[in-house]
Structure 1
Amino acid sequence: MGKSKGSRITITLECECKNNKVNSINKRKKGIARYTTSKNKRNTPNRLEIKKFCSYCNCHENFKEIK
């Protein structure tokens, strides 16, 4: 028999900036940057927050768990 997934779940991380910056030099295109990853809900029961690269504002921003 196969192993069960256990307590790992798939989550979606979304950029906080959402292109609210006024400076149009750093903007590439309009949209919302999202990453998909997994986490162990026993070890990290709270919402996850990671600093990752946002391709829409072309800089490193905080990404928060939305799902």
Structure 2
Amino acid sequence: MGKNKGSRIIITLECECKNSKDIKRTNGIGRYTSSKNKRNTPSRLEIKKFCKYCNQHVTFKEIK
């Protein structure tokens, strides 16, 4: 008998600066992967993280 996987899911976080024209480094889209509990946080997640393309801390939003 296998265990139930639970309510944890893997999400992808994407940088908001992807459409910005003042990118300081190379072109690209900053993305992170993380996991969340969909029962505790049913809405989309927003986290401030470092973007290597912008060279600064920006808000990363959850994408599908």
TM-score under structure 1 length normalisation: 0.86
What's the % identity of the aligned pairs?
78
Q: Which runs of 5+ in 2 are unaligned?
A: none
Q: Does 1:39 align with 2:36?
A: yes
Q: Which runs of 5+ in 1 are unaligned?
A: none
TM-score under structure 2 length normalisation: 0.89
Structure 1 segment 1-67 matched on structure 2, within 5 A: 1-18=1-18, 20-22=20-22, 27-67=24-64
- SS state of the match for residue 53, structure 1? strand
Do the aligned residues in 2 keep the contact of 1:19 with 1:32 (CA within 8 Å)? no
RMSD of aligned alpha carbons: 1.4
Runs of 4+ in 1 over 4 A off after TM superposition: none
Offset, 1:3: 2.6
Structure with greater helix share of residues: 2
Equivalenced residue count is 64
